[in-house]
Structures are given as structure tokens and as C-alpha cells.
Structure 1
Amino acid sequence: MNGVKFSFAGQLLVALGSGALWWPEQKTLCVSDLHLGKSERFVRRGGPALPPYDSHDTLNRLAEDIEQTKAGTVVCLGDSFDDLDAARSLAEAERSRISTLQAGRRWIWIEGNHDPGPIELGGTYLAEWRCSALVFRHIAQLGAKSEISGHFHPKATLRAAGRLMTRPAFLVDDSRIILPAYGTYTGGLRSSDETLKGLMAEDAVAILTGKRPRSIPMPR
């Protein structure tokens, strides 16, 4: 499996190159900020017309991670849809794909700031979810412990082979993990941003996603 293993709150976790987090002991796959329907929302609000394949691509990649891990539980850490209207406007093929992915497993939608209310797409809708020692929520809370969140779409930059390389990244310290955005049409916030520096401990690491995920000291 293409990922970086690490220990967090006494649990073995794997940061996958795709941007998903795998918890083998609980057979739980966690993703954040899918932002399904973003291309539709752009057009609806008068923005630029983006190629309308983002939801299809995001769900394809999620299906691959589910197949590889054989996950029994999938946790979506909020902002799974770009807004509630985007969720209601999903094409029937995408609704059917979500139903297929949900079949035979527990599926948890965590509420995000883009999708604060429940929608009728199956699964369970929660403000946050606690399992064993870990708590899953959309936005990190100051002072929290053993917390896994998303929202900020973190990315990190390093110099490799004489050039700068920027990738979406997991941010990890002893108290929290912030997941990168999983959605196809999602930007990112540099790890050197004051907000992320304020949330993460001085010894935090960034795990860069991609075909060859790697862990580095969090760039500040």
C-alpha cells in the first residue's frame, strides 16, 4: 500500500499517497473535503465553467482506496459537497456510485461548513465521531487531543532535485492530524500560514501525498 505509517494516540495509522487516512485496526478509511459538485456550483454562482468531471474523478479515486483497503467504515470529514445545492444536483450516476460504495459498510458523513445539514444520500450524519481514543471532526479545535480533522486543505513545499515541489499534505503532531483535501477541484493552504502554524506543535511533520509520499518536518 502506497503510504507512510505512523503512530498517533497509541494507534497505527497510514497516510496514503491519495490523501486518505487508513486505520487498519478499525478497518476505517478517512477522507476530507471531497467538495463533490464544485464545478456545478461554480457555474450556478456565475463563476468560470470548469470541466464537469470532478465528482466522477473524486469518486473513482475513493473507490480505488476502498477496494485496496477493504474498508469496513468510511468517514468523510466534512465539506463532502461544495454546498447543499451541489449535493442535491448530483447526477444520478454519481448518486448511484455513492450508494454502491456505501453498500456493506458503515458510512459516516461529518458535518462541514459547506454542508452543515443532512442530505438524503445514505449513511450517518454527525457533528463529530469518536472511536477508541480518536475524535473525528471537520475543523480543528485549540486544545483538542487525539483529533483528526480537515477543512484547511494543507499543502507543503520542499526542495527536491534542485526545484521546489508543492503537494497536498497531512500535518501531524502529538495532538492532532489535519488531512489534505481529497477532492479533485480543491486548492490548499500552505503549512507556513499563520493559522496552521498556530494549530500545530513546533515538532509537527508534514506527510506529502503523491506516488511517493514522504514525511518531512512541517515547513514553517
Structure 2
Amino acid sequence: MVPFSFAGEEMRLVDGRALFWPREQALLVADLHLEKASFFASHGQLLPPYDSRETLERLALAVRETGARRVYALGDNFHDGKGSLRLEPHAAGMLAALTRALDWVWITGNHDAPIGQSGAEEIAGGALADEVASGGLILRHKAAAGETRPELSGHFHPRLMLSARGRRIARPCAVMSEQRLILPAFGALTGGMDAADPAILAAMQPARAIDAVLPARGRLLQYPLWRAAA
């Protein structure tokens, strides 16, 4: 785990994909996209059907490493509203064990069914919310224009894109400004968007500085993406 500060709170990046908030004993993950492979298979594009198992194994490891007592899943939890019905028995058992053992909150995203419409999260256990205010921070799926409170979100699947020695390197990263933090996608079968994409930079405004942040050899790497004009 790599410690850093955001909005006056101590945070820790866990394996570059999750965020641990020690004061709240909470693990935050975004964009699990559980059952994405089975969704594509139902539309004729056959993919190995083990993405949910891999994602949940990764999540269980993060819980054990941090000792988290609460999980906030920041939206796009299943790839579609019927995803939990397609979970194979092993993955379904893993998810049920996690939601029973932890204070689990599903925050809904654009891939999720609205609350009250029998979405996958309602079947999987845990509580549902459109957004959550906790410890002075607002937790939601997608950064909201005009938000003045410190905000944690997902949605964009940011990746730091670099070129080195003729090779293109892409690594999941968080994107951080003074008041906003966008988490990378946690799911095993999720792509990514360049952290410097104009859509991400626009979602981070207003800001004085925007950085990509990710762990590197036990330290926090901050890579400047944008600076306000002097």
C-alpha cells in the first residue's frame, strides 16, 4: 500500500487499483463490471467466463491486506442489470461471502439498473445508494459538474499512457486534483482511457493542478497532466 493525502485525509493506494481510507476503515473500488464476459458471450462475442471470479479474488485480497470493514463500490458494478443472475456458483458464493462479512455499499453507475428496479446489486446483497456523503467526502460514480465538496468517483477508467524506448506503456492510475479524485477501473475485464483525455480533465474542473497518481516500487508517482495558467 502506498500512502498519500487527499482533501486532508490519509489515503492509501492498494495495488494501484483500489483506495483504502484508514479513518473510515473503508476500501473503495470503481467499475468492477462483473459478468462483462458473459454479457458479450450472450451477444455472440465469446470470452473466457472467469472475469468475475478474478475480480472478486482480487477484491478479497485487498480486503485482507487492508483489514477494511466496509466496501464502497463506486458504480458500474455489474456490466448490466442482470449480471448477478449469470454469476457461476463459485463467483456467486465469493460475492455473497463478501457482502455478508462487510458493510457493503453499492453506488449505482450508468451500467447499473436504477434503485428499485431489481438491479443486480439488489440481488447480490449489501446496500444501494445513488451517492454517499461520508467523512466530509462525497462518493459517486461520475464526477459532477459544480460540486464544491471533495469528491471520489470512477467511470472513466483512467490509465497513464507513456512512451519509453519505442514502447507504449499503459498503467491504471488515479487522477487527482485538490478536490477531486477519480479511481481507476478495478474489474479484470475493463479497458481504459488516457488519463490526459480532455473528457477527464474537464471532469476534474475547477482545479489548479491535475496529476495522475500510481504506485511505483513502493512510492507514489505523481505525473502532471494539467496546470492552470499562471
TM-score normalised over the length of structure 2: 0.87
Query: 1:204 corresponds to which residue?
Result: 210
Q: CA deviation at 1:14?
A: 1.0
> Which residue identity does 1:203 align to in structure 2?
A
Q: Name the CA distance, whole Å, in 1 between partners of 2:59 and 2:142.
A: 21
**CA drift at 1:160:** 5.0
1:114-153 alignment, distance < 5 Å: 114-117=111-114, 118=119, 119-144=122-147, 145-153=149-157
CA distance in 1, matches of 2:53, 2:60: 10
CA distance in 2, matches of 1:38, 1:92: 16
Q: Tell me how far apart the structure 1 counterparts of residues 95 and 16 of structure 2 sit (CA, whole Å).
A: 18
SS of the residue corresponding to residue 116 of structure 1 reads: coil
Cα distance in 2, alignment partners of residues 218 and 165 from structure 1? 16
CA contact 2:210–2:225 (8 Å) conserved in 1: no
Tell me which residue corresponds to 1:195: 199
Task: Find 1:85's aligned residue among 70, 82, 85.
Answer: 82
2:106 alignment partner AA: W
Per mean C-alpha deviation after superposition, the further-off stretch among 67-76 and 189-198 is 189-198
* Equivalent residues of 2:100, 2:125 under 8 A apart: no
Give the 3 Å change call, closer, same or farther, for CA 10–72 of structure 1 in structure 2.
same
Distance in 1 (alpha carbons) for counterparts of 2:181 and 2:70: 19
SS of 1:183 mapped into structure 2: coil
Stretch of structure 1 that moved more, 19-28 or 202-211: 202-211
Structure 1 residue 67 displacement after superposition: 0.6
50-59 vs 11-20, greater mean Cα deviation: 11-20
The code of the aligned residue for 1:7 comes to S
Letter in 2 for 1:219: L
Specify the alignment match of 1:217 in structure 2.
Answer: 223
Note the residue ranges of structure 2 that are not aligned, 5 or more in a row: none
SS at match of 2:181: strand
**Cα distance change of structure 1 residues 204 and 133 upon mapping to structure 2, 3 Å threshold:** same
Q: State the secondary structure of the residue aligned to 1:157.
A: strand
DSSP 3-state at the match of 1:98: helix
Residue 42 of structure 1 is matched in structure 2 by: 40
SS of 2:84's equivalent?
helix
Q: Residues of 2 paired with 1:13 and 1:60: CA distance?
A: 22
Q: Which residue of 22, 28, 31 corresponds with 2:29?
A: 31
Which residue number corresponds to residue 177 of structure 1?
A: 181
Partner SS, residue 100 of structure 1: helix
Q: Deviation at 1:216?
A: 2.3
| Contact 1:156–1:218 (Cα < 8 Å) also in 2 | no
CA deviation after TM superposition for structure 1 residue 9, in Å: 1.9
User: What does 1:47-58 correspond to in 2, within 5 Å?
Assistant: 48-58=45-55
The answer to whether the 8 A contact 2:201-2:210 is kept is no
Gaps of at least 5 residues in structure 1 are none
2:4 matched to which residue of 1? 6
Deviates further, 51-60 or 90-99: 90-99
Counterpart amino acid of residue 16 in structure 1: V
